[in-house]
């Protein structure tokens, strides 16, 4: 026992706990790294049944700490394991970890975790040399949860095959060397499309580390928004697809953010929504970008909500009949919206049981008046206004009686944001991709035909860059080694270059070997 006490004193981490067993009193000594069972001063072992019954982590007496839920770098992915407070769940990697602070931070640095959780890293939402970018929209950690992982993966695979259905000839040039590339934003925008870019590079066995949260306003440009690590060929396979996604998604989010800011500045609390006029095959990205920008997606597809437009009404015969027939198949779980061209049509739709009426192509003043009259008759009716709404006139439609303003400009009238991807090389500045290499002298072969020599020398001439003329004279006067007394023909070529032309002088002579 004195030996055990000595160990405890040396480690300064020990504690003794008496425990009874069939063998008598057993003392557990817990030092910094391990727990031992001591039967006598001469015996230390880790194989006692008491320790085996404690489980892998129980002997450390580490438990889930609720403070981790507020700790940067951990809070975004940590989760509890039901009925086991000695372990922690990683929500992104779907794995279990020991409830130990050191293990959590070590796990966060693994390549597997970063490939899944990198875009959700808890870096502050701010720009270099600027303050935080505040915006009123959903948390960027919540929005990706609306995406179905299988749907994203399927879309990404389809896009990659569309871009490279056969051979990747250019990929043969770069090979499989491990490289790092930077993604740069070169025009103002709102960062969006992160989960799709992650999926692109994950499909190619690369991983992305983001320097901004999704939804950050990128106005201090050019700026680096992410780094991509992986094999060179695979990075370049996903380059154009990833940049196309970022450019379009960020453009939609930027437009949506602008609409949101206008509504906030006028203290209007209704919803601004996009429409279904999206790009075929790209709807999921554009609808997702609307959420990042802070507006509503409206209905995602035809099954999301029953919307009866003019063609439906004309084909059915009347608004009332169309609404009743829609209710029969939609049941209680589907809302019905009717597109109306006048207040009488909107009144008929509300009386028939429609929950939403859309005032289509109304002038701003007429829309406000119609909405007020309808709200007096049907207080629970949701009123949407659509048609010709832009950033310039949207403020004219802000009214306490209007619940939704929908505009196709959000998904059809946006400008793309300019992004680029550059492989990082020593001494290379991604902001200025021009790489200047030192000019090297070219050895001259006197046996080369004069025209071939001229052509080869012209390839090495270059402008000095100052706008003035530059000249480079080459006088190869070589003698080919031959037998003694053999007469050889030599050629002297003088090449002078300027900005506008190249002058060449050639002379032929003979020499005696």
Question: For position 269, which CATH number holds?
Answer: 3.90.1170.20
Residue 87 CA, distance from chain mean position: 30
Candidates 510, 506, 508, 509; CA nearest to 451 is 506
Is 116 within the bounds of a domain?
Answer: no
Q: Which two tokens stand for residue 334?
A: 């589907």
Structural domain of 94: 66-109
Q: Do 134 and 249 belong together in one domain? A: yes
Q: What percent of the chain is modeled with pLDDT above 90? A: 45
Q: Can you give the pTM of this predicted structure?
A: 0.59
Residue 345 belongs to some domain of the structure:
yes
Which residues on adjacent β-strands are paired with residue 383? 357
**Quick one: 26 and 75 in the same domain?**
no
Angle of helix 319-330 relative to helix 343-352, nearest 10 degrees, comes to: 40
Give the alpha-carbon dihedral of 159, 197, 297, 418, to 10 degrees: -100
Torsion of CA 342, 343, 346, 347, to 10 degrees: -150
Residue 331 domain flag: yes
Residue 297 in any domain: the answer is no
* Whether residues 272 and 371 fall in one domain: no
Q: Are residues 154 and 271 in the same domain?
A: yes
- Is residue 505 helix, strand or coil? strand
Judgement on whether residues 131 and 270 belong to the same structural domain of the protein: yes
CA distance 284 to 168: 28
The answer to whether the beta carbons of residues 186 and 418 sit under 8 Å apart is yes
Q: Give the C-alpha distances (Å, rounded to integers) separating 260 from 126, 231, 391.
A: 19, 40, 10
129: left (phi over 0), alpha (psi -120 to 50) or beta: left
Q: Are residues 135 and 270 in the same domain?
A: yes
Asked if residue 445 is part of any domain, the answer here is no
298 found inside a domain: no
Distance CA 306, CA 290 (A): 21
For residues 52-76, average pLDDT: 66
In this predicted model, what pLDDT tens digit does every residue of 168-187 receive, in sequence order? 888 888 888 889 999 999 99
Three-state SS at 460: helix
Q: Are residues 152 and 259 in the same domain?
A: yes
Residue entry with tokens 């860059």: 465
CB 122 within 8 A of CB 71: no
How many CB atoms within 10 Å of residue 66? 7
Instruction: List the catalytic residues.
Output: 277
Q: Kindly report which listed range (110-119, 149-158, 182-191, 238-247) carries the lowest average pLDDT score.
A: 110-119
Verify that 96 and 156 share a domain, yes or no.
Answer: no
CATH number at residue 327: 3.20.20.70
The answer to whether 444 touches 476, Cβ cutoff 8 Å, is yes
Q: Are residues 94 and 136 in the same domain?
A: no
Same domain for 157 and 255, yes or no, is: yes
Q: Is residue 232 part of a domain?
A: yes
In this structure, is residue 120 part of a structural domain?
A: no
Q: What is the pLDDT of residues 361-418, one digit of tens each?
A: 999 999 999 999 999 999 999 999 999 999 999 999 999 999 999 999 999 988 999 9
- Whether the per-residue pLDDT at 336 is higher than 90: the answer is yes
Q: Which of 423, 458, 484 is the last residue of a domain?
A: 423
Q: Please, which residues bridge with residue 496 across strands? A: 503
Residues 263 and 154 reside in one and the same domain: yes
Domain boundary among 109, 141, 173: 109
Confidence (pLDDT) at 125: 30
Total structural domains within the chain: 5
Does one domain contain both 73 and 131?
no
């Amino acid at each position: 026992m004195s030996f055990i006490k000595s160990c405890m004193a040396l480690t300064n981490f020990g504690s003794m706990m008496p425990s009874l067993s069939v063998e008598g009193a057993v003392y557990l000594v817990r030092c910094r790294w391990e727990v031992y069972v001591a039967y006598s001063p001469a015996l230390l072992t880790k194989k006692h049944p008491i320790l085996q019954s404690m489980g892998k982590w129980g002997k450390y007496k580490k438990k889930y700490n609720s403070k981790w839920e507020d700790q940067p770098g951990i809070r975004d992915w940590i989760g509890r394991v039901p009925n086991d407070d000695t372990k922690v769940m990683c929500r992104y990697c779907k794995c279990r970890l020991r409830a130990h602070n050191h293990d959590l931070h070590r796990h966060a640095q693994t390549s597997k975790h970063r490939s899944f959780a990198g875009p959700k890293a808890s870096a502050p939402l701010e720009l270099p040399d600027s303050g935080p970018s505040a915006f009123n929209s959903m948390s960027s950690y919540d929005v990706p949860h609306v995406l179905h992982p299988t749907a994203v993966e399927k879309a990404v695979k389809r896009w990659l095959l569309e871009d490279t259905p056969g051979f990747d000839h250019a990929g043969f040039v770069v090979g499989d060397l491990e490289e790092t590339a930077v993604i740069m934003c070169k025009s103002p925008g709102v960062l969006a499309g992160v989960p799709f870019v992650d999926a692109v590079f994950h499909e190619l066995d690369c991983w992305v580390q983001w320097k901004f949260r999704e939804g950050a306003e990128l106005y201090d440009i050019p700026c680096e928004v992410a780094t991509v690590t992986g094999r060179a060929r695979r990075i370049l396979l996903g380059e154009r697809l990833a940049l196309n996604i970022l450019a379009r998604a960020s453009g939609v989010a930027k437009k949506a953010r602008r609409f949101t800011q206008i509504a906030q500045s006028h203290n209007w609390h209704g919803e601004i929504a996009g429409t279904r006029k999206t790009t075929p095959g790209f709807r999921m990205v554009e609808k997702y970008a609307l959420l990042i920008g802070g507006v509503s997606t409206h209905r995602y597809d035809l099954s999301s909500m029953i919307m009866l437009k003019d063609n439906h009404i004309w084909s059915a015969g009347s608004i009332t009949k169309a609404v009743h027939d829609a209710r029969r198949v939609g049941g209680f779980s589907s809302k019905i919206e009717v597109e109306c061209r006048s207040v009488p049509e909107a009144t008929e739709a509300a009386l028939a049981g429609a929950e939403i009426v859309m005032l289509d192509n109304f002038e701003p003043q007429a829309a406000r008046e119609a909405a007020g009259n309808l709200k007096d008759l049907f207080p629970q009716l949701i009123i949407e206004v659509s048609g010709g709404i832009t950033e310039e006139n949207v403020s004219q439609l802000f009214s306490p009686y209007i619940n939704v303003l929908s505009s196709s400009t959000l998904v059809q009238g946006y400008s793309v944001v300019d992004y680029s991807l550059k492989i990082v090389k020593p001494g290379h500045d991604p902001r200025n991709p021009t790489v200047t290499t030192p000019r090297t002298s070219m050895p001259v072969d006197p046996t080369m035909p004069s025209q071939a020599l001229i052509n080869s020398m012209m390839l090495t001439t270059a402008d000095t860059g100052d706008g003035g003329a530059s000249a480079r004279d080459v006088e190869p006067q070589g003698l080919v080694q031959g037998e003694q007394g053999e007469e050889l023909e030599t050629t002297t070529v003088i090449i002078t270059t300027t900005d506008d032309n190249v002058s060449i002088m050639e002379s032929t002579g003979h020499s005696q070997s």
